[in-house]
Amino acid sequence: MSFTLVMLKIVGTKTAPGVEDLYSNTPGDMGGESICGISRVKNPGVPVWAHVDRLKAADTPQADWWDDHGLMGAVLDFYQSLWLQHRLDQVPELLQGPVFGGIVNQGVQVVIDLQQCLQLLHQMLVVDGVMGPGTIAALGQVEPAVLAAFLFRRRTQGYLAIVDKHPDQRINFHGWICRLAAGL
């Protein structure tokens, strides 16, 4: 799965939305305001927010935000940077969507979960939350479908832990599980 295909699944297009809403600001959501899945709480300094603030100040209808090249370019740049930072072009294709979607939604914890799953599959590597050479090498030594199943379970457990600790976040649980079901 290429970066472009993963982006289509996450962000989508104006006529075929992905798993993330174009814009969300649901009261009580720990992620707070988000654009195409990019949380302002977790990523307050990224350039997308200047574009969002500009569009909101101009009372631009959200349906027209898709056509704003500055905003959509900043979203693409943000995600491309994450993709490259985590060396996802070197990850087996079957795992690219789940790993990238997890990084987008759960941050570096997904890389830690991935590394712990690899250890359970008898791979010797350091669990450090970095997609470095050791993690990339270990990925090549296991069956991607088995690792994907492990990672799916770990991420589900992570979501359950969130709602156990923060019951008000149950409003997000269905969306999180839909993300997993979509391979993200």
The domain in which residue 28 lies consists of 1-85
Number of structural domains in the chain: 2
Whether residues 5 and 66 fall in one domain: yes
The pLDDT tens digits for 127-175 are 999 999 999 999 999 999 999 999 999 999 999 999 999 999 998 898 8
Whether residues 181 and 97 fall in one domain: yes
Whether residues 102 and 132 fall in one domain: yes
Which of 53, 68, 85 is the last residue before a domain boundary? 85
Whether residues 78 and 7 fall in one domain: yes
Whether residues 184 and 106 fall in one domain: yes
d(CA 125, CA 37): 30
User: 144-165 and 93-106 helices cross at what angle (nearest 10)?
Assistant: 20
Q: pTM of whole model > 0.75?
A: yes
